[in-house]
Amino acid sequence: MCGIVGYVGKRDSQDILIEGLKKLEYRGYDSAGVAVFTQNGLEVRKTKGRLAVLESALGEKPLHGSIGIGHTRWATHGKPSDVNSHPHTDNAHKFSVVHNGIIENYMALKDELIAAGAQFVSETDTEVIAHLIASVYEGDIVKAVQKAVSRMRGAFALGVLTEYEPDKLVAVRLASPLIIGVGEGENFIGSDIPAILEHTRNVYILNDGEMALLTKDGVELMTIEGNFISRELFHVDWDITTAEKAGFDHFMLKEIHEQPKAYRDTMGARLNDEGTAILLPELKLTAEQIKSISRIHIVACGTAYHAGLVGKNMIEQLARIPVETDVASEYRYRSPIITKDTLVIVVSQSGETADTLAALREAKRCGAHVLAITNVVGSSVAREADSVIVTWAGPEIAVASTKAYTSQLIAFSLFSLYLAQTLGTQPASAIAETIAAMKKLPEQVESILARGDEIKVYAEEIAKHQDLFFIGRGVDYAVALEGSLKLKEISYIHSEAYPAGELKHGTLALIEEGVPVIALAVQEDLFEKTVSNVKEVKARGAHVLGLGQEGHEELPKAVDQVFSIPRTVSLLTPALSVVPLQLLAYYASLALGHDVDKPRNLAKSVTVE
């Protein structure tokens, strides 16, 4: 996720671009840049680091001109650096592009452009766009952008300038948000409404497959095929704070709703064109090295640890390699047995978690190959690991992790299937079937989110209680742990998760009349045993919410209330079943009047032991 802003009008664009980027910095903050038409032509200024670094550089040497584009970056392709920052240009510096999203076929396009003489200076997929537009330009920037976009596969929002037509700004949307702000004698583009709200409240919200041509005198909307569109302006009556959250009351709720996009982006270019195989070019392990792996250690903290528990199940079932999962703060102190045949997977949203970093360094000292799963390109974990799978969830603002966790589940799914594919432990047909199910997950999550009011009613009821229990078996237990953590983090309700089969070994003593129990019964092969455990807590007076898959007739008979998730293959169910639990925690916290985004005593990234 990155932030885009653009301006064309009569005023000096630099300050407008910087102020717009400040409103979008929550979308990305590892680098920033602007491109402005000045009396010297198209000039670009960009820097690694927070927006303040760019602002300082422009303060010393400003760019004066009335048309420009700006960008604040959350890296996906290429580490954070000056050269990888946006905007990007072609070799002649006649075209400039800012981009939010992922170009899935950028490597093929890059090879083709290099063969035609293009010289690349960055590691990004975005630079491909600038060279591609330059290669097809024949005097009409709109047609050139349309030709280029027809060659690109992925999800993207673009802002494009060319020195050949210095009064025009072109914007394109395909699966990444982009809005057009309409003023008097000036017009704007932005990734989100906050970027332009200071200047206008009249906007066009582009739909997928649409683009716009902006001049200071007007805006033309069209499809990327060139068909013109007529649309009424939307008048924004939100305040700035609400606009930053895209109309949601809290960042946490916004991020819960961003999960379908995070799923799509994390899968992205990691599926082949046919959707039958996994591609992980970022994995620096040969097939021979993979075949030599004798054991895997997954090391993480908190929510990432819970993702690791699901990952353990996935790897063992699909690749048949034994896996140990450890809390990072304990890992070094138990003298783990690490050999050159051990693969160590460290998981961290921020990539800066102190305990996880320490575990990574210990694993490397012992000669293990370390794979990092992280949400931050250029983080310490990403820099120090041997291989990195980036979860393209975009920045998380809320302290309680939601989309970062579920993106980690997608990363583990991809990696587990890749191992199975390489080792031959699963038939190709089974792998293709699981991939097909993965591709349906975003739409299935959207269907769960559409039923949020059902969860809200139950959450308001449990907010009246001081204690609550989650039970489940297999990966349902791993999800129960995450659901319980979310509830504790932001509602402060005492909550515990237990393996359902352990109830008779002491936990039943805690069950009394009226206590809420959330029973995850999503695993079909464990369903009957879980229902048996549900009957045990029901017999002792518990009020049970059952979480199961659609179409199951037995669960409603065993519990007091049911919430059903769409059907999918067993190992992928955590990516769906956790979503109602995230909403449960959110609405319970809301009912209790707590600060959802900033729970007491907690920080987003734990950078000390």
Token pair in block for residue 421: 């594919």
Examine the pLDDT at 165 and tell me if it is beyond 70. Answer: yes
For residue 7, what pLDDT is reported?
Answer: 98
Q: Please report, rounded to a whole number, the percentage of residues in the chain having pLDDT higher than 70.
A: 96
Find out whether 448 and 494 touch, Cβ atoms under 8 Å. no
DSSP per-residue letters across 412-449: HHHHHHHHHHHHT-S-HHHHHHHHHHHHHHHHHHHHHH
- The C-alpha atoms of residue 45 and residue 342 are separated, in whole angstroms, by 45
Between 146-160, 197-211, 295-309, 548-562, the lowest mean confidence (pLDDT) is in: 548-562
What average pLDDT does this structure show over 167-181?
92
* pLDDT at 225 > cutoff 80: yes
> Which pLDDT score is estimated for 576?
97
- Res 415: pLDDT: 98
Residues 326-341 as b or e (16 or more Cβ within 10 Å = b): bebbebbeeebebeee
600: helix, coil or strand? coil
Q: Copy the structure tokens of residue 353.
A: 């978690």
Q: So what's the pLDDT on residue 418? A: 97
Tell me the Cα Rg of the chain.
25
pLDDT number for residue 151: 96
Query: How would you list the strands of the sheet with 516-520, edge to edge?
Result: 494-499, 467-472, 516-520, 543-549, 561-565
Between 379 and 120, residue with greater pLDDT? 120
The span from the CA of 271 to the CA of 583, in Å, is 30
CA-to-CA distance for 179 and 212, rounded, in angstroms? Answer: 10
Bigger pLDDT: 186 or 234? 186
Mean pLDDT confidence for 226-246: 81
- pLDDT score of 266: 94
pLDDT at 351: 86
The pLDDT confidence band at residue 604, using thresholds 50, 70 and 90, is: low
Q: What is the pLDDT of residue 603?
A: 58
Residue 42 has pLDDT above 90, yes or no: yes
Instruction: Using CA atoms of 505, 509, 515, 516 in order, give the dihedral in degrees to the nearest 10.
Output: -10
State both tokens at 252. 């946490």
- For residues 338 and 509, the model is more confident at 338
- Annotated catalytic residues are 2, 604
- Name the average pLDDT for the chain: 91
Span 518-562, pLDDT tens digits = 999 998 888 888 887 878 888 788 888 999 999 888 888 888 999
pLDDT at 608: 42
At residue 607 the predicted structure's pLDDT band, cuts being 50, 70 and 90, is very low
pLDDT at 85: 92
Which letter does DSSP use for residue 278 in this model? Answer: B
* 50-107 residue pLDDT tens: 889 999 999 999 999 999 999 998 777 778 889 999 999 999 999 999 999 889 899 9
**Tens-place pLDDT, residues 459-498:** 999 999 999 999 999 999 999 999 999 999 999 999 999 8
pLDDT at 1: 65
Query: Which residue type sits at 21?
Result: L
Greater confidence (268 vs 411) lies with: 411
Distance between CA 104 and CA 216 in Å, rounded? 33
Among the residue ranges 51-60, 68-77, 238-247, 263-272, the one predicted with the least confidence is 238-247
Q: Give the model's pLDDT for residue 241.
A: 65
Query: Do 299 and 328 meet the contact criterion of CB atoms below 8 Å apart?
Result: yes
Nearest to 8 by CA among 50, 65, 93: 65
The length of the chain in residues reads 609
